[in-house]
Amino acid sequence: MSTGVEASRRATAPTSPGRVGDVRRRNLSLILHQLGLSGQTTRARLAADTGLTKASVSSLVADLVSAGLVMEVGLNRAAERGRPGLGVALNTAAAALGLEINVDYMAAGVLNLAGDLQFHQVVEQHNAGKDPEEVLGRLTELAGQALQQAEAAGLTVHAGGLAVPGLVDTASGRVLNAPNIGWRNVDIAEWAASLVPEGILGTAVFNEANSAALAELWYGHGRGMGNYLFISGEVGIGGGIIIDSGLFAGPGGNAGEIGHIVVDPEGPECSCGGSGCLERYAGQDAVFVRAGIEGGNDAERMAALLEALEDGDEQALAAVRRAGHYLGVAASSTFRLLDIDAAVLGGNFATLERWITPAFHASVEEHAPAVLAADDVVVSGLGRQAALMGAAGSRIRTVIEHPHLLLKQH
Amino acid sequence: MSTGVEASRRATAPTSPGRVGDVRRRNLSLILHQLGLSGQTTRARLAADTGLTKASVSSLVADLVSAGLVMEVGLNRAAERGRPGLGVALNTAAAALGLEINVDYMAAGVLNLAGDLQFHQVVEQHNAGKDPEEVLGRLTELAGQALQQAEAAGLTVHAGGLAVPGLVDTASGRVLNAPNIGWRNVDIAEWAASLVPEGILGTAVFNEANSAALAELWYGHGRGMGNYLFISGEVGIGGGIIIDSGLFAGPGGNAGEIGHIVVDPEGPECSCGGSGCLERYAGQDAVFVRAGIEGGNDAERMAALLEALEDGDEQALAAVRRAGHYLGVAASSTFRLLDIDAAVLGGNFATLERWITPAFHASVEEHAPAVLAADDVVVSGLGRQAALMGAAGSRIRTVIEHPHLLLKQH
């Protein structure tokens, strides 16, 4: 840890009022990172693990405690010999708000600094074609309830993250194009700025599938898998590319659109304006139609599909197999193009796991043989929590990377 | 340039015999980088441009001159007021060997530190199915001729780079799988080590299309384009992904295999073991067959195809249009997946530009509308020099990044 040792020389140097020096910023973040890795520990162990001096660690921890990001956790007798040290841990009262707008539901939840989802509420609701202002109004209510619950539980919400099913510009707070809900170039920056009153970091907007891909990496079955394609089935099909344990967002920030890989050049038109896209073959509407399932809302239709599959209904089985086949076609192209060889299936693909994964595996074996082993495909266990956990988790990451933003200026 | 200034404090510090310190290594590389950007300049200007002290620059330049990487270029009266400074520039006598094995030809050339290709020789030769040892034997002869020419011209070849049409493991010097020449897990490390006798950096193996994509970026029409898909038509179809002005090689180092994107899930088997791959639709053999062109070697068949196209032969025109259509399908999927919106077409696609690009544009407009503007697609001007220039250029990059490896130890 020579960097840490070198950095520690300046860690306790005085900083000008109202401004935290670069090295101290870095060391504040280093302490939070280490606490995320080690869990509850002592200042002495933090010093040993980071290469910082004990005096530096004490000073940094004091700042982080006063910012509400680290908490004292009582005597830690087990960890040290001699005089027991006062334990420290990430403050689980520090949290971020996670929100999701999807085609047929919206959801809110609060994720704390340790990555635990504290509240989670899903509201079934058709958002396609609705006025964005109306949808955001309802989401504000749902977010308000989550913030109230958080406050009642003693949590401090520092930031928010919103996941939407479309292309976004996170920097400017705009939804560029979300065809499945009919949004085009919707500026939500003003709405986002006022959402979390005490959250000085504001609310950022993310692509839903990219957020879900990161949630798998940080909190789900993607932990320990450094490189994979995340594919999520909803009304649309979202994708996220994880490379070297990080999101590959592409130069424009919107990579991973596997739903619009062309799986049949002569195929039907897609909501994106293109044609032959995977979404038209493996999106849930395409599967419902093929399976002959009509009527009811999406949740009811999914329940009917599952029942038909359980009953061995040939039409339903063929429809899901066909979706798995085309999913395998798009995944094969992606594996070859990006040189990755693992996948995490989420959303409805997780719900349909038993029936869809055999067809998926067979298709990949046909189109890109020897790329996938059986255990290279895992299924999400996060369900409808994934996208909002990823969006909130990205904001938790911001807090951990830039804790100085939350320090009391004096 | 605060980093440079800070670094300069230690740039002239003594280093232990036989070992160049980290800071000095970095500054040696910094000088070469700057010379690459500025061309001929003076020590005083180098100091101003890098933030290093004049004393540091003099010491660093002296080392680089003695390593043969920088040359004195006489009085530089124009650049300075007062006493004219002695000019310095990248030593154009320092060079790397570039080699390519492709399906129907092999080639060799020598690229100097300034990126000028000094010699270039292409030999038409069918390499498919030949014993690797036989192919490498012939390449050794061709390389020997290039090295002799280089020596006669006073060049010093410090390293070699070999481009092959397949998956490679550059670190271990192995060709993992090159189906179009029939190589599978061929270890060429020993052969490569002995190829450039005085080149202490050895010879490294690269994927042909990735090398060509980099050549476009460094020396070709990709200059100034930060993000693009390079697609090269040969017997196979190679691809290279340039993101943020660098190669996106993927976690395994072999990303960019656009030739094996599935463009028709019910399509024919491919040499890769998969089926429906782009290569079966837009590779040159597929085009020749569709165009009804038979007999002769590949060069003769391409000449016949071009003649038929010039004559307005409907079968030939339809065959090339079809290739452009499927090329557009695969590119559309890639643009959506990676969030990039530009392409450089190389190899035969450059030769067939007039006929293939309209079909390519139309197909992308159909499958991924509004992604590409007309000037987002450019055609390579490097021809059969591209792959070996990229392979040699990668080695030139190694020299520029790690010039201390060439310093005389004392």
Give the distance between the most distant pair of CA atoms in chain B. Answer: 75
Of the pLDDT bands very low, low, confident and very high (cuts 50, 70, 90), residue A209 is very high
pLDDT class for B372, splitting at 50, 70, 90? confident
Residue of chain B whose alpha carbon sits nearest to that of A275 = B367
Compute the average pLDDT of residues B224-252: 93
Contact B348, B233 (CB under 8 A): yes
The pLDDT, as a whole number, for residue B272 is 87
Interface ipTM? 0.85
Residue A124 above 60 pLDDT? yes
Q: What is the pLDDT of residues A146-200, one digit of tens each?
A: 999 999 999 999 999 999 998 999 989 999 999 889 999 999 988 988 888 777 7
Distance between CA atoms of B122 and B99, rounded to whole angstroms?
10
**Helix axes of A43-50 and A22-38: crossing angle, nearest 10 degrees:** 110
Q: Do B339 and A261 touch (CB under 8 A)?
A: no
Question: For B2, which DSSP code?
Answer: H
* Chain A residues within an 8 Å CB radius of B251: 226-227, 243-244, 339-340
pLDDT at B85: 58
Residues A245-292 pLDDT 10s: 999 999 988 899 999 999 999 999 998 899 999 999 999 999 999 999
pLDDT score at B76: 53
Task: Give the tens place of pLDDT for each residue, B112-150.
Answer: 998 999 999 999 888 988 999 999 999 999 999 999 999
- Contact across the interface for B339 and A244, Cβ inside 8 Å: no
Residues 311-370 of A with CB under 8 A from B: 325-326, 329-330, 332-334, 336-341, 363, 366-370
- The confidence score (pLDDT) of residue A179 equals 86
pLDDT digits (tens, 9 = 90+) for B6-40: 333 333 344 443 467 888 999 999 999 999 989 99
Predicted pLDDT of residue B197: 75
Q: Which residues is B120 bridged to in the sheet? A: B109
**Element (H or E) spanning B217, and its range?**
helix B208-219
3 state SS for chain A: CHHHHHHHCCCCCCCCCCCCCHHHHHHHHHHHHHHHHHCCEEHHHHHHHHCCCHHHHHHHHHHHHHCCCEEEEEEECCCCCCCCEEEEEECCCEEEEEEEECCCEEEEEEEECCCCEEEEEEEECCCCCCCHHHHHHHHHHHHHHHHHHHHHCCCEEEEEEEEECCEEECCCCEEEEECCCCEEEEECHHHHHCCCCCCCCCEEEEEHHHHHHHHHHHHCCCCCCCCEEEEEECCCEEEEEEECCEECCCCCCCCCCHHHCECCCCCCECCCCCECECHHHHCHHHHHHHHCCCCCCHHHHHHHHHHHHHCCCHHHHHHHHHHHHHHHHHHHHHHHHHCCCCEEEEEHHHHCHHHHHHHHHHHHHHHCCCCCCHHHEEECCCHHHHHHHHHHHHHHHHHHHCHHHHCCCC
Indicate whether A6 pLDDT > 60.
no
Residue A226 in this model has a pLDDT that exceeds 60 = yes
Distance from CA of A250 to the nearest CA of B (A): 5
User: What does the pLDDT read at residue A370?
Assistant: 86
- To test the contact with chain A by mutation, choose from B269, B367, B371 the residue with the greatest count of A C-beta atoms within 10 A, namely B367
What is the C-alpha separation between A60 and A54, in angstroms, rounded?
A: 10
Burial class (CB in 10 A: 0-12, 13-18, 19+), A43: buried
**How confident is the model over A14-24, as pLDDT tens digits?**
444 446 788 89
Check CB contact of A262 with chain B, cutoff 8 Å: yes
Of the pLDDT bands very low, low, confident and very high (cuts 50, 70, 90), residue B2 is very low
- Say if residue A125's pLDDT is above 50: yes
- What are φ and ψ of residue A314, in 5° steps? -65, -40
Query: Which domains does chain A show, CATH number per domain?
Result: 2-90 (1.10.10.10), 94-211+387-406 (3.30.420.40), 224-381 (3.30.420.40)
**Shortest CA distance to A262 belongs to which of A240, A285, A243, A278?**
A278
Q: Give all strands of the β-sheet with A203-207 in edge-to-edge order.
A: A117-124, A105-112, A94-101, A156-164, A203-207
Question: Contact B367/A262, CB-based, under 8 Å?
Answer: yes
Per CB-CB distance under 8 Å, the chain B contacts of A274 are 332, 336, 366-369
pTM value is: 0.86
Flag whether residue B276 sits within 8 Å of chain A, measured between CB atoms: yes
pLDDT at position A14:
40
User: What distance in Å separates the CA atoms of residue B168 and residue B252, rounded to the nearest whole number?
Assistant: 9
Q: How confident is the model at residue B371 (pLDDT cuts 50, 70, 90)?
A: confident
* Distance of alpha carbon B309 from alpha carbon A405, whole angstroms: 65
Interface residue A149 vs chain B (CB under 8 A): no
Asked whether residue A331 carries a pLDDT value surpassing 90, the answer given is yes
Specify the pLDDT at position B136.
95
Cα angle: A64, vertex A68, A69; to 5 degrees? 60
Query: DSSP assignment, residue B357?
Result: H
